[in-house]
Amino acid sequence: MKPNTTFTLSVKDMKIIEDALRNKLMRRSQRILEGEDPEILLTEAKEINELLGRLHNQKAWYRPSKGIFVSG
């Protein structure tokens, strides 16, 4: 059996996943500050940051098709 490589997630689903990953990243950082083994925790933090980056890069950002786009 092959793994599913196509996922259908809502914007809300993505927000929940990203928030959970950011919270896990904060907990890892707190554990480093409390003196736990930084080597393992930094590796986990790097993996989480890379995953958040991949999720970010897969988003389709809105841009109007006509006119000048003015952000934020």
* Tens digit of each residue's pLDDT (9 = 90 or more) over 17-70: 999 999 999 999 999 899 998 899 999 999 999 999 999 998 877 777 787 777
Which residue's entry shows tokens 């790097």? 46
pLDDT for 72 equals: 64
Write out the chain in H/E/C secondary structure.
Answer: CCCCCCCCCCHHHHHHHHHHHHHHHHHHHHHHHCCCCHHHHHHHHHHHHHHHHHHHHCCCCCCCCCCCCCCC
